[in-house]
Amino acid sequence: MKRRLLLVSNSTLHGGGYLDHCQNQISDFFGRDVRRVLFVPYALHDRDAYTKTARDKFKTLGYEVDGIHEASDPVAAVKNAEAIFIGGGNTFRLLKSLYDNQVVTEIRRRVLEDSVPYMGSSAGTNVATVSINTTNDMPIVYPPSFSAIGLVPFNINPHYLDPDPHSRHMGETREQRITQFHEEPDTPSVLGLREGSMLLVEGDKATLLGTTRARLFSRGKASVEYEPGSDISFLLTQ
């Protein structure tokens, strides 16, 4: 048994439709063994509309989608899932709903013990990590904990943005905010996934996929850039 994760920075890339930029990776990831995907739309308010968007897209790829909110028992839905996809939106709303529906532990168990494929996008990628402390979202609700599902031993910052040297905006850059996070003790590394990038985890191997580079921030060290195709498996053993 081994974990299988596809952690995508963003659901929509400029110039394309929903999940268009990563549809080949999705097909490769789920393969032919998966027929139905359990979709978790908790990050957005209109769960029915969000599920329809995911259902319509996945149908074009040959997969059926079940919304977890449509099930009478969310925990049972996770227990019976062939694959899990958690979509993007507000990370605080998402994590609170995961805790409220008591599925955090069961998702972790299914992925780490049963090798159920897990795909996340944006907020869904955030909650796959150690914590949601490095999300870009506003805390519109208060989850019982910032600790997330913990499928990997580091954090991710989706939609990572580089400083714009021509901008007159005087607020903190993304780099500065991640540095502030690392000013706290015992904080894990943070992988900044630019839009268009994604991380594939298969057991103890992690590979950067997509069309853009990723930037790794580690406490007390200089940041490092990684090109698409890079093997960054060392992050899984930190």
- pLDDT computed for residue 164 by the predictor: 79
At 197-228, the pLDDT tens digits run 999 999 999 999 999 999 999 999 999 999 99
**Does residue 72 carry a catalytic annotation?**
no
- pLDDT computed for residue 171 by the predictor: 74
**Does residue 230 carry a catalytic annotation?**
no
- Give the Cα separation of 136 and 168 in Å (integer): 20
Which listed residue (97, 131, 137, 197) is catalytic?
A: 137
At 73-102, the pLDDT tens digits run 999 999 999 999 999 999 999 999 999 999
Which listed residue (11, 97, 121, 122) is catalytic?
A: 122
**What value does the mean pLDDT take over residues 177-203?**
97
Percent of the chain with pLDDT over 70: 99
- Give the Cα separation of 139 and 194 in Å (integer): 22
Cβ atoms of residues 146 and 112 within 8 Å? no
**Does residue 167 carry a catalytic annotation?**
no
Domain count, the chain: 1
CATH of the domain at 74: 3.40.50.880
Which listed residue (20, 69, 100, 159) is catalytic?
A: 159
Residue 124 belongs to what domain range? Answer: 4-237
Going along 9-123, which residue ranges are E strands? 36-40, 64-67, 84-86, 118-121
- Give the Cα separation of 77 and 79 in Å (integer): 5
- pLDDT computed for residue 147 by the predictor: 98
